[in-house]
Amino acid sequence: MNAIPLALDGYLTAEPEPGDRDGTVSWRLACSSATDHLVEEAVIPCITSEPEIAHALLTDRQPGDLLRVTGRLVLPDTADGVVRLHADHLEVLWEAPLLDAPGDTAVTTVVDAAAAEAEADRNRAIAALAEALTGLEQTSPGPGRSVRIHISPAGALGSGLEHCHSIGITPALAQRLADYVDAMSCYLDSERPDGTVLAPETVADLTELFEDIDLTGLTRDVLNATRPEHRPAVTRALDDMFGDVPAPGDTDS
């Protein structure tokens, strides 16, 4: 059988189980991103005979954990054979929150319509973000996808692995995304124009401009031009805009 060296990121779909042979442990890994040999959303059977990996899987790991498995992908000799990843190394990238153990006396509640709708909105948002990131990578091809973004619901995953995504991007694209986020932060949420993204150079110019403002002097000038009865309200407005600005020592009458 042919063996292909491979490192694979994916979510543990179910409790690991002892393998067919003594000293082995088998499990299944849900992979949500494409690789050179695997298609998107593939579920890959894995097996190991390494004692440390077997012990960790049987005692410490649970469904929903995000794992990086390194080993050899063994292809079958026949079309009806099983593809398996024989693991030599296991790394935990993210631990799922602990689920209730069997026998716990937790109270089961009925999810109302509002909660169900909120969960549906969350899942749609996750899907939209994953699709946008994947599409952005496809329009900006480049070697070296060494940055990985993991998107999943918060809290215990349980059976919601279909909402987990792992997307590889290049460092250059990661920097572009960081610039977009910085540009979005230049607006108040209520004032951000839809679809407007500032160039990084513009963001840098605005940052330099605001850093050069003498807020104490600005506060003094504004208060000097304000009628005395209006100064408390103007002071509060300045604090809301620029933070807690030190009050000037004296102002002209």
pLDDT, one tens digit per residue, over 143-174 is: 677 788 888 887 655 556 777 888 888 888 88
Residue 31 above 70 pLDDT? yes
Residue 90's pLDDT is: 95
- Radius of gyration over every alpha carbon of the chain, rounded to an integer in angstroms: 27
Q: In this predicted model, what pLDDT tens digit does every residue of 61-81 receive, in sequence order?
A: 998 899 999 999 988 878 777
> 86 lies in a domain?
yes
Pick from 4-8, 126-130, 186-190: least confident: 186-190
Q: State which of 94, 121, 152 marks the end of a domain.
A: 94
CATH number at residue 69: 2.40.50.140
**What's the Cα-to-Cα distance from 194 to each of 163, 188, 201, 204, rounded to whole Å?**
27, 12, 20, 21
Beta partners for residue 234, in sequence order: none
Q: Which domain holds residue 193?
A: 176-209
Residues 204 and 217 in one domain: no
Give the contacts of 41 (CB within 8 A, at least 6 positions apart). Answer: 30, 31, 32
Give the relative orientation of helices 171-184 and 200-211 as an angle to the nearest 10 degrees: 50
In this structure, is residue 46 part of a structural domain? yes
- Which range, 42-56, 66-80, 225-239, has the best average confidence (pLDDT)? 42-56
Task: Report the 3 state secondary structure along 202-215.
Answer: HHHHHHHHHHCCCH
Number of domains the chain is built from: 3
Same-domain status, 45 and 60 = yes
Give CA angle at 48 (46, 49), nearest 5°: 160
Structure tokens at 103: 């026998």
- Whether the predicted pLDDT of 36 surpasses 50: no
CB 50 within 8 Å of CB 91: no
Answer yes or no: is 171 within a domain.
no
Is the pLDDT higher at 212 or at 196? 212
Structure pTM?
Answer: 0.44
User: Of 67 and 230, which is predicted with more confidence?
Assistant: 67
Stretch 187-214: mean pLDDT, rounded?
A: 67
pLDDT, position 232: 83
In the chain, the amino acid numbered 29 is: L
User: Is the confidence at residue 91, as pLDDT, over 80?
Assistant: yes
**Residue 22 carries which side chain, given as an amino acid letter?**
D
CA torsion, ordered 38, 39, 45, 47, to nearest 10 deg: 20
Top-confidence range, 12-21, 130-139, 156-165: 12-21
**What is the reported pLDDT for 247?**
60
| Percentage of residues of the chain with pLDDT beyond 90 | 17
pLDDT at residue 192 tops 50: yes
User: What is the average per-residue pLDDT within 109-113?
Assistant: 54
Convert 189-226 to b/e letters by CB count within 10 Å (16 or more is b). eeeeeeeeebeeeebeeeeeeeeeeebeeebbebbeee
Instruction: Choose the final residue of a domain: 76, 94, 112.
Output: 94
Q: What angle do helix axes 231-242 and 215-224 make, rounded to 10 degrees? A: 160
In a domain, 89, yes or no: yes
